[in-house]
Amino acid sequence: MPKTPAIPVGALDGRCMRFKHFYPLLAFLIPTTLIGYGVVIPRSPIAGVNELTIGFGSALVGAAIAYWQGIRVALRKEAKQPEKAAGRPERPCRSTSVSIYRAVR
């Protein structure tokens, strides 16, 4: 199977990650964290800092990383097909101190 050529995602091609890409992730993480650590875990026998509460936090971090990588892959595929995305106007990246926001548009 031939390798897929690398497509730059970042400031080089004018695309950047916008905060709107994280709305669904925040809609998942905020209530899950508040309910998990604020209600469920303190009222259960696993209250306190232990391997189960750390595992729950690790699962949330893993979900956030998987979501971010999924957005990057989806936007790279969109960049490969410029004829489909040609109808949208190109918006330049705003400079930001966090390089992760420059990863994808």
Residue 9 lies in a domain: no
What letter represents residue 51's amino acid? E
Q: Which two tokens stand for residue 32?
A: 């899950």
**What is the total count of domains within the chain?**
1
The closest alpha carbon to 105, from 16, 28, 9, belongs to 16
For 35-75, what is each residue's pLDDT tens digit?
999 999 999 998 899 999 999 999 999 999 999 999 888 87
Range of 62's domain? Answer: 15-79
In terms of C-beta density within 10 A (0-12 exposed, 13-18 middle, 19 or more buried), how is residue 37 classed? middle
Residue 54 lies in a domain: yes
Residue 6 lies in a domain: no
3-class DSSP state for residue 95?
coil
Query: Does the reported pTM lie above 0.85?
Result: no
In this prediction, residue 76 has a pLDDT band, given cuts at 50, 70 and 90, of confident
State residue 39's pLDDT score: 94
State residue 17's pLDDT score: 74
State residue 94's pLDDT score: 54
Q: Which two tokens stand for residue 51?
A: 């391997």
- What proportion of the chain, given as a percentage, has pLDDT over 90? 41
3-class DSSP state for residue 63?
helix
- What proportion of the chain, given as a percentage, has pLDDT over 70? 59
Residue 59 lies in a domain: yes
Residue 3 lies in a domain: no
Residue 96 lies in a domain: no
Residue 86 lies in a domain: no
Q: Are 84 and 49 in contact (CB under 8 A)?
A: no
Residue 61 lies in a domain: yes
